[in-house]
């Protein structure tokens, strides 16, 4: 993130291509500054946990763990109960107040395509390396 | 986005009230400059001083912001307290995106609060709060306070004035999001005259992309994005920034030094883009929604006292104009001197170009004995940074009659104290240090902006006056359109009429390239109509004699030839024949 120039191209790309909206604040990747631009930048992005706590916290099975890490949001099942929000260890999950559903990354990598500064990269993960046990095998 | 409806927020600081109007009658003016000029024409009071409480300041976002890359510029439009003419000043940062997400096209602020206030605007709120404790702070400190005072959801943008704006120094800037500014025309003085310390805009509204336009929009976006990032200017703008022009201008004999007394900047080897990048550059930043990232931030540290090892650090943006105005113009020898001066200018919220012109005139007036140490409180000389730092304190503090006059600009002071021949301003506008030839002086006279990247020009003897003027008007008219679209001047070659037409089409506007070209001249005419009402007359412009001694890329300029061009410009512009000047 040290190379980020705060152009928000990633957020706009996600908003445009995935969320069908011009609004970067409800994109699944959000760039933030703390204390103004003098401080360093941070990205709120799904860290693709191997055992995602958000999925464990969802009472409606709207968040399904994905092979390789992270979760898949089954939008029809999301009731907007917000149980997953405090469960996320990095505070990534937010609500989209218009849709009344959470915003979740689909790990498509469109944000990395529009990053002009090579801050973001989409990595293929080894499907076999899904749990600690299987890695050890 | 609601097609054809322009949402304008009106704030009156005298009554501490606001009103939102959704207007259908403003769509012909598009956004940015066009919309701003129309609102100014509606709200401005011709008979009143530019700093009278009734005078408005208007912030207007471009039609393409924030939907397309590099469409990031918001226009601040007002009657300039420095020049008395139309002022349009542009800045990026996060403001255009924040205004869009607050669902605002424009913001009009008028009136005067009876005590210091600050304004916060969001999609659901307008708060006018007391700002007594932050009055008197510099721009950097004030911004730090505000970031914590008003945490807001969504995207946020903050503009502030420093002490210079509070004291209505006529060339005070508005500093936006720390590294950007609405510069050059005294927007900061207007805020100060209204007792307004800061304006924060934040937005968190959702703006869905209508299905009907989605495919076209994505295709046009992709096309513009790719052309931008693969443009030959991209590496220059991003890696080294506009300071790369310093060497180019020097080689073209277009970078004067020491208030135009010398044709070359002798200390340039210490100020080259390469050298500044190697020794001072800490990061590049971008406006929200632009992949270029042309804002270069330099690092400067200052030791307390003389023998301790304790330092104060500053991060300051730098570009061609700041290095020209505070470095070359004042004959500074080292980047350390430049940073010290720029830190002071930036902290007070002064405009660097106008401050450089004021200090340049002051130096020569001091050398010639027109003013003395009693007037200045210090010795003044080219390259003498300590003297300049002291003079800036005096100027903002209004310590002496000389400084109070200088706070109204170099031209004003020269008319009172003498030395009008060596003021580096035309119509109270400071030279930007791009001395390319007749076009640069005509641009200054009219308030046109010069292109940041200049290609070598033929010698002046080869150019017919009419051709120079017509080319200039064509360029300015095209700029009027892009300024109304919110497109950054640095990348305007990507946004030709055809591209703008396609971009607008994807947003639901149907305007052919030809119609856009006609609109651009109409916008030019609207703008110049306002200038005319404000009393600008190119044919009666006084050009200080110094400009005919300063070498340019086209050689030395001739007074008669320039006068002829100004006459043609006056006739062409005031002809009011909208179609007549549209070529092709």
Of B203, B234, B266, which residue constitutes the final position of a domain?
Answer: B203
Domain match, B367 and B455 both: no
User: What secondary structure does DSSP assign to B32-79, as a single string?
Assistant: HHHHHHHHHHHH--TTS-TTSTT--EEEEE-TTTTTSTT--PEEEEEE
Is residue B292 in a domain? no
- Nearest CB among A6, A7, A21 relative to B206 is that of A21
Residues A28 and A67 in one domain: no
- Closest Cα in chain B to A26: B206
Please tell me the total count of domains within chain B: 3
Query: Do A40 and A15 share a structural domain?
Result: yes
Kindly state whether residue B180 falls inside one of the protein's structural domains: yes
Residues on chain B touching A38 (C-beta within 8 angstroms): 178, 315
State what percent of residues in chain B have pLDDT above 70. 96
Residue A37 within any structural domain of the chain: yes
User: Is the residue at A128 inside a domain?
Assistant: no
How far is it between the farthest Cα atoms of chain B? Answer: 71
Taking contacts as CB-CB distances below 8 angstroms, the residues of chain A near B208 are: 20-22, 98
Lowest mean pLDDT across B307-316, B332-341, B367-376, B473-482:
B307-316
Helix, strand, coil content of chain A in percent (nearest 5): 25, 15, 60
Cα–Cα dist B492/B235, whole Å: 16
Overall average pLDDT of the B10-19 stretch: 98
For residue A88 the two structure tokens come to 């996320």
Domain of residue B148, CATH code: 3.60.9.10
Mutation target for A interface from B293, B296, B343: give the one with most A CBs within 10 A: B293
With beta carbons less than 8 A apart as the criterion, state whether B448 and B395 touch. Answer: no
How much is the pTM?
0.92
Could you tell me if A78 and A112 lie in one domain? no
Give the model confidence (pLDDT) of B154-205 as tens digits.
Answer: 789 999 999 999 999 999 999 999 999 999 899 999 999 999 999 999 998 8
**Residue B458 sits in the same domain as residue B394:** no
Q: Which residues of A touch B292 (CB under 8 A)?
A: 7, 116
In this complex, is the C-beta atom of B65 within 8 Å of any C-beta atom belonging to chain A?
A: no
Q: Which of B208, B283, B289 is the closest to A21 by Cβ? A: B208
- CA–CA separation, B326 and B258 (whole Å): 10
Joined tokens for residue B356: 């450089």
Which residues of chain A does B300 touch, with a Cβ-Cβ cutoff of 8 Å? none
Closest CA relative to residue B77, chosen from B193, B195, B186, B172 = B186
Min Cα separation A14/chain B (Å): 12
Residues of B in contact with A98 (CB under 8 A): 206, 208
User: What order do you get walking across the sheet with B196-203 strand by strand?
Assistant: B126-130, B117-121, B196-203, B155-160, B174-176, B180-182
Which bin fits B177, alpha (ψ -120 to 50), beta or left (φ > 0)?
left
Residues B415 and B470 occupy one common structural domain: no
Q: Which residues contact B404 (CB under 8 A, 6 or more apart)?
A: B398
Distance from CA of A125 to the nearest CA of B (A): 28
Residue B496 counted as domain residue: yes
With 0-12 CB in 10 A as exposed, 13-18 as middle and 19+ as buried, what is A48?
middle
Per-chain mean pLDDT for chain B: 92
Range(s) of the domain holding residue A19: 1-46+108-121
ipTM greater than 0.85 = no
Within this chain, do residues A67 and A29 fall inside the same structural domain, yes or no? Answer: no
Give me the residue from B179, B205, B291 closest to A23, CB to CB: B205
Give the model's pLDDT for residue B582: 42
- Taking only the tens place, the pLDDT of each residue in B260-302 is 999 999 999 999 999 999 999 999 999 999 999 999 999 998 8
| Segment-wise mean pLDDT, segments of 10 residues, chain A, 137 residues | 89 92 91 68 90 95 93 95 94 90 95 92 69 40
What lies within 8 Å, CB to CB, of B326 at 6+ separation is: B332, B338, B341, B342, B345, B352, B355, B356
Residue B134 sits in the same domain as residue B189: yes
User: Do A77 and A52 lie in a common domain?
Assistant: yes
* The Cα angle at residue B141 between residues B136 and B145, in degrees rounded to 5: 100
Q: What is the CATH number of the domain that holds B507?
A: 1.10.599.10
Residue A135 within any structural domain of the chain: no
Same domain as B137, residue B74 = yes
Contacts of B224 in chain A (CB under 8 A): none
Structure token digits, residue B134: 């932050």
- B375 pLDDT band, cuts 50/70/90, is very high
pLDDT digits (tens, 9 = 90+) for B198-257: 999 999 888 888 777 788 999 999 999 999 999 888 888 899 999 999 999 999 888 999
Q: Say yes or no: A81 and A63 in one domain.
A: yes
Does residue B171 share a domain with residue B40? yes
Residue B66 to residue A7, Cβ atoms within 8 A: no
Could you give the number of structural domains in chain A? 2
The answer to whether residues B449 and B388 belong to one domain is no
CATH of the domain at B279: 1.10.569.10
Q: What residues in chain A have their Cβ under 8 A from chain B's Cβ atoms?
A: 5-9, 12, 16-17, 20-26, 35-38, 96-98, 114, 116-117
Of B404, B393, B476, nearest to B442 (Cα)? B476
Q: What pLDDT, on the 0 to 100 scale, is given for residue B493?
A: 86
**Segments forming the whole domain that contains residue B540:** 437-574
| pLDDT digits 0-9 by tens, B346-356 | 999 999 999 99
Q: Is residue A53 domain-shared with residue A12, that is, in the same domain?
A: no
CATH code for the domain of A82 = 3.30.70.20
Q: What is the DSSP string of B226-268?
A: HHHHTSTHHHIIIII-GGGHHHHHHHTT---BTTTTBSS-TTH
Domain assignment present for A57: yes
């Amino acid at each position: 993130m040290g190379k980020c120039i705060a152009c928000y191209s990633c957020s706009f790309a996600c908003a445009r291509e995935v969320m069908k909206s011009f609004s970067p604040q409800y994109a699944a990747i959000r760039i933030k500054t703390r204390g103004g631009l003098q401080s360093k930048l941070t990205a709120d992005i799904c860290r693709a946990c191997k055992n995602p706590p958000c999925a464990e916290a969802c009472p409606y099975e709207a968040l399904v763990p994905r092979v390789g890490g992270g979760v898949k949001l089954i939008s029809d099942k999301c009731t907007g109960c917000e149980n997953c929000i405090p469960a996320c260890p990095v505070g990534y999950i937010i609500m989209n107040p218009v849709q009344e559903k959470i915003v979740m990354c689909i790990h498509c990598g469109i944000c990395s395509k529009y990053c002009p500064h090579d801050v973001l990269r989409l990595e293929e993960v080894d499907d076999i390396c899904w749990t600690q046990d299987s890695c050890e095998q | 986005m609601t097609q054809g409806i322009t949402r304008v927020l009106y704030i009156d600081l005298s009554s501490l009230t606001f009103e939102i109007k959704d207007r259908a009658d403003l769509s012909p003016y598009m956004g940015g400059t066009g919309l701003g000029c129309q609102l100014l024409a509606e709200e401005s009071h011709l008979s009143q001083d530019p700093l009278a409480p009734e005078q408005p300041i208007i912030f207007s976002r471009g039609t393409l912001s924030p939907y397309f890359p590099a469409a990031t510029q918001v226009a601040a439009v007002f009657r300039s307290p420095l020049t008395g003419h139309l002022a349009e000043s542009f800045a990026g940062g996060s403001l255009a995106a924040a205004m869009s997400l607050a669902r605002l096209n424009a913001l009009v602020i008028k009136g005067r609060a009876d005590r210091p206030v600050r304004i916060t605007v969001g999609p659901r709120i307008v708060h006018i709060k007391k700002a007594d404790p932050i009055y008197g702070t510099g721009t950097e400190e004030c911004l730090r306070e505000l970031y914590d005072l008003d945490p807001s959801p969504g995207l946020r943008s903050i503009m502030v004035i420093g002490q210079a704006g509070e004291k209505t120094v006529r060339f005070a800037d508005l500093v936006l999001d720390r590294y950007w500014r609405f510069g050059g025309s005294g927007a900061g003085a207007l805020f100060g005259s209204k007792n307004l310390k800061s304006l924060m805009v934040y937005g968190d509204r959702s703006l869905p992309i209508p299905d009907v336009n989605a495919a076209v929009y994505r295709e046009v976006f992709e096309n513009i994005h790719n052309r931008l990032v693969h443009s030959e200017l991209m590496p220059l703008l991003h890696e080294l920034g506009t300071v790369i022009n310093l060497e180019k201008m020097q080689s073209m004999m277009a970078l004067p030094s020491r208030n135009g007394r010398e044709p070359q900047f002798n200390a340039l080897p210490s100020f080259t883009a390469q050298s500044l990048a190697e020794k001072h550059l800490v990061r590049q930043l971008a406006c929200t929604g632009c992949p270029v990232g042309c804002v270069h931030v330099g690092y400067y540290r200052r030791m307390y006292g003389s023998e301790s090892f304790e330092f104060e650090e500053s991060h300051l943006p730098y570009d061609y104009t700041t290095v020209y105005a505070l470095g070359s113009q004042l004959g500074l020898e080292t980047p350390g001197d430049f940073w010290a001066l720029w830190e002071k200018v930036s902290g007070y919220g002064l405009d660097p170009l106008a401050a450089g012109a004021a200090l340049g005139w002051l130096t020569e007036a001091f050398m010639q004995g027109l003013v003395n140490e009693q007037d200045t409180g210090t010795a003044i000389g080219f390259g003498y940074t300590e003297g300049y730092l002291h003079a800036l304190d005096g100027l903002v503090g209004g310590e002496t009659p000389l400084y109070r006059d200088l706070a109204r600009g170099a031209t004003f002071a020269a008319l009172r104290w003498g030395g009008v021949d060596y003021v580096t301003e035309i119509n109270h506008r400071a030279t930007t240090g791009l001395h390319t030839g007749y076009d640069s002086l005509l641009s200054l006279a009219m308030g046109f902006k010069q292109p940041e990247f200049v290609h070598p020009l033929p010698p002046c003897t080869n150019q017919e006056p009419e051709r120079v003027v017509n080319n200039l008007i064509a360029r300015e008219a095209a700029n009027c359109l892009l300024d109304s679209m919110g497109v950054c001047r640095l990348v305007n070659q990507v946004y030709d009429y055809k591209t703008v037409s396609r971009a607008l089409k994807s947003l639901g506007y149907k305007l052919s390239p030809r119609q856009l070209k006609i609109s651009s001249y109409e916008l030019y005419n609207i703008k110049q109509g306002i200038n005319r009402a404000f009393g600008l007359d190119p044919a009666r412009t006084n050009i200080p004699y110094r400009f005919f001694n300063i070498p340019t890329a086209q050689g030395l300029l001739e007074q008669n030839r320039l006068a002829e061009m100004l006459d043609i410009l006056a006739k062409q512009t005031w002809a009011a024949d909208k179609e007549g000047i549209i070529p092709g």
